[in-house]
Structure 1
Amino acid sequence: MENKLLNQEVQHYINANLHTDLHALLLKKSPFPEVSAQEIVQQIKGRQVAEKKFPFLLKEGIIFPPQLNLEQSSSEKTAFYKSEIIKGEKFIDLTSGFGIDAYYLSKNFDDITLVEQNTELLEVVEHNWSVIGKKANFVNQKLEDFLLENKEHFDTIYLDPARRDHQKNKVFLLEDLSPNILEIQEKLLSISKQVIIKLSPLIDLKYLISVVPDIFRIDIVALKNDVKEIVIFLSNEKVNEIKCYCVNLESGESPFNFMFREEENARSEYSEPEKFIYIPNNSILKAGIFNLVSEKFGLKKLHPNTHIYTSSEKKENFPGRILEMELIDSKSIKKKSQFNVISKNHPLKPDEIKKKYGLKDGGEYYLIFTQSKKGKIILKSV
């Protein structure tokens, strides 16, 4: 690839402007005839993203791709999680992108292949892997063409399909992704015993199970209670049940796993609020296991459509927040008080509640506006 960005003076200029206003920098003329202001800003943005998403790439000589490629990349933390559960000898990433997932996933494999149709992006990845001392086979080819010509078998195939259409709009259905997973799933399973696909956190799990018959595992991966990705595992060995793992990284919470049929058979008990209130983390809420949570942890729900639970005695190891709370009347809410406001199954949103009651945001205490079977209620932490 071109080495103009690796020029020592260019690198020094980039480092000196890491905290400069990028809009102003774009309007200035580049001091280097062979490197544009846009290219310099792209590298600065890349380092800013890397500080938060993949700090292992903050090394001298690393080159960053355009912003869209950075946004579509997994974070170092979610990639590391996947690397802990995926092992084998021969690995291929058919949509390598910027290669963050491939870098981590390939740590447990001896033979590594990265396929990427974007020539410039693949050159960046190949260069960066040489900087960090990582070897792989780099294939610059469209996935569909590679599959037509391929004669090899792999222990694990990994894909992260593009989730934007030709107009750059986000898409979520499998048939709208690039590649179309529904069209190639049989081909993938003919050359590998395990196929792993990263999908949008917004995808509907019931839809997913209905259109991909070979799923045997689904991981819902959240980072600090923000669901980042849905990861599905396909196998050519038929399974009767699908296991799901709900993971909330960097929360201190234990992963929660279950079989999907368990939710179908589970039943909730209901109660007005008791001493302790439980709010499941977002990976649990995404899984939709509202009755199973009640049953597994011995908790009671407040209302069929309120996914908040309660108990008189504290239940440990719950995957979410546990708050000691009491029922209050709206008249007892003092203006300018400071609260973290939560609204669940309530007509007003948190910002509307704060405005109505003149509340400040934040602090140690919580206010929950919700519903029990008796109607609307307000809970305050004690």
Structure 2
Amino acid sequence: MKNEATLQFVQLHREDDVNRLAFLGDKNPDVDMPWALAQISGWQTARRKLPSWAACDGLEYPPHLNMEQCSSEPTAIYKASLASRLVGADAAEHGLLVDLTGGFGVDFSWMARAFAHAVYVERNETLCPIAQHNFQQLGLDHVEIHVGDGVAYLQTMPLVPERTTGCSHPLTLIYLDPARRDTYGRKVFGMEDCTPDVVGLCDTLLLRADIVVIKLSPMLDWHEAVRKLKNVSEVHVVSVSNECKELLLVLTREKRPLRVFCVNDGQTFTYCVSGASRPLEGALRASDDALRSSDDASCAPGIVSGRPADASRVMPDEEFHNVSLPTHSPDATPSVLLVPNSSIMKAGCFREIAVAFGVSQISSDAHLYLSNGAVPHFPGRQFRILRITSMNKRDLRQAFQGVSQANIAVRHFPLTADALRRRLKLKDGGSLYVFATTIGKDHRLILTEKLVAP
């Protein structure tokens, strides 16, 4: 327990500039300045990243690197909902959670509430007492702390028996968030390069748990991860505010059909995968509904929130490059441009989106969609099309007459956004959006404004 002077200093200065406070050490000899500065910096990070923790007095924060590497509150809450759905209601009375890579304990603290007993394992001796203190402050009195290597602890866990009718063995879920830095502190992304190596541990994990949840880098190709691991039943691509944050893989003891969840804030698009990687079915539901759904929940082809999609409007691959977007003929063009969110882009489920929502891709490389009206629940942004133009100077002059500012995005286009902005002599920002793309051999600019979707 720190002395009163240190605690008062933290409380008094927690909104101040940490770099400036570092020079006040000589004026405050009774203050443990390194610890105080770590708490102030940690609280300031938590206010942005973990607001409910920042609002809780008495929590202790780790060094800066651990704060930056820990999960954000929205992603931790998502994992808690995922774990709760995977293990079911009985886990609150009999379930066991084992986090082999505890870290600061953010993910663990949220997931642990769904289990009768939870074990936190962390080899960093500095983090363990901090986590233990925080768990007590958060009211988690059913958790167990182990200081040591997660792989070593895994080897001590009993084998999970095959489940039969009347089996009383508690349901066990193991969670891992492998460290994505090598011994020199450099970032790594391959699963085998992370610590621990989940590819090498896959068999051992599935012998000692009913369910395994692995958090991986969002940079990783999920198809490759599924190929290297065993019995992957779910892939979760998790985005917050349209920024891809995490890739979660769920492994189960028995092999199940693979389902992919594309998550962005309060919305989830999910589809089933058949064979090696070819998705068959797509459906959209709110995140909470998707998480509460059972493992055999309906994922019927072309069903969106219970409404059949018009699959006839989906263009086959051979027609993607033959779409004609006429210029200066508003009545002859679709009225809405749809731009998928980052989780859809990461998952690569472009045809599944077209089938589920009955919309058409502009081309197989642009990943932009067209519709004759607003599309309810579309997982992405929607824009009202104002004009479509070629790159011909006369057409550009006519299309952009009176336009001095716009947001520019390029998809499958020979110029960068900055180069195109200079060509068009436009300032960045404003309420207009320009999407530049290529259809066949023709370059097109689509001038739009954001549409508030129903």
Q: Please, what TM-score do these two structures have when normalized by structure 1?
A: 0.91
1:86 correspondence with 2:83? yes
The residue matched to 1:97 in structure 2 has which SS?
coil
Match of 1:51 among 28, 42, 47: 47
Identify if the C-alpha distance between structure 1 residues 29 and 335 changes in structure 2 by more than 3 Å, giving closer, same or farther: farther
Correspondence for 1:341? 408
1:149 correspondence with 2:156? yes
Correspondence for 2:16? 20
Correspondence for 1:167? 184
One-letter amino acid of the counterpart of residue 248, structure 2 = V
* Native 8 Å contact 1:218 1:244 kept in 2: yes
Correspondence for 2:265? 249
Correspondence for 2:37? 41
CA distance in 2, matches of 1:76, 1:245: 19
Match of 2:140 among 134, 138, 152: 134
* Native 8 Å contact 2:5 2:31 kept in 1: no
Correspondence for 2:396? 330
Correspondence for 2:292? none
Identify if the C-alpha distance between structure 1 residues 307 and 127 changes in structure 2 by more than 3 Å, giving closer, same or farther: same
CA distance in 1, matches of 2:83, 2:421: 45
Q: Offset at 1:278?
A: 0.8
Q: Offset at 1:213?
A: 2.2
Match of 1:354 among 416, 421, 438: 421
* Native 8 Å contact 1:335 1:359 kept in 2: no
Q: Offset at 1:301?
A: 1.4
The residue matched to 2:83 in structure 1 has which SS?
coil
CA distance in 2, matches of 1:139, 1:188: 18
One-letter amino acid of the counterpart of residue 172, structure 2 = D
Correspondence for 2:310? none
1:303 correspondence with 2:299? no
Q: Deviations over 1:130-157 (max 9, x none)?
A: 1222121000011122123333755211
One-letter amino acid of the counterpart of residue 108, structure 1 = A
* Native 8 Å contact 2:362 2:369 kept in 1: yes
Correspondence for 1:288? 348
Which 5+ residue runs of structure 1 have no aligned equivalent? Answer: none
CA distance in 2, matches of 1:378, 1:102: 47
Correspondence for 2:379? 319
More displaced stretch, 228-237 vs 329-338: 329-338
Matches for 1:221-300 after TM superposition, within 5 Å: 221-239=238-256, 241-250=257-266, 254-261=267-274, 263=278, 267-268=316-317, 270=320, 271-273=323-325, 274-300=334-360
Q: Deviations over 1:12-47 (max 9, x none)?
A: 322332343322323442544465543322212111
1:115 correspondence with 2:175? no
The residue matched to 1:379 in structure 2 has which SS?
strand
Identify if the C-alpha distance between structure 1 residues 372 and 201 changes in structure 2 by more than 3 Å, giving closer, same or farther: same
CA distance in 2, matches of 1:194, 1:374: 49
CA distance in 2, matches of 1:336, 1:47: 44
CA distance in 1, matches of 2:60, 2:209: 32
Percent identical across equivalent pairs? 30
Correspondence for 2:63? 66
Q: Offset at 1:67?
A: 1.4
Alpha-carbon RMSD: 2.1
Q: Offset at 1:174?
A: 0.9
Q: Deviations over 1:330-362 (max 9, x none)?
A: 324358722222111122222333333332332
More displaced stretch, 315-324 vs 174-183: 315-324
Q: Deviations over 1:147-202 (max 9, x none)?
A: 23333755211111101111111111111010010111111111111000111111
The residue matched to 2:184 in structure 1 has which SS?
coil
Q: Please, what TM-score do these two structures have when normalized by structure 2?
A: 0.77
CA distance in 1, matches of 2:43, 2:182: 27
More displaced stretch, 296-305 vs 124-133: 296-305
Match of 1:180 among 190, 197, 200: 197
CA distance in 2, matches of 1:379, 1:30: 61
* Native 8 Å contact 1:117 1:141 kept in 2: yes
1:363 correspondence with 2:430? yes
Q: Offset at 1:281?
A: 0.5
Q: Which runs of 4+ in 1 moved over 6 A?
A: none
CA distance in 1, matches of 2:279, 2:57: 53
1:213 correspondence with 2:226? no
Q: Offset at 1:129?
A: 1.2
* Native 8 Å contact 1:122 1:140 kept in 2: yes
Larger Rg: 2
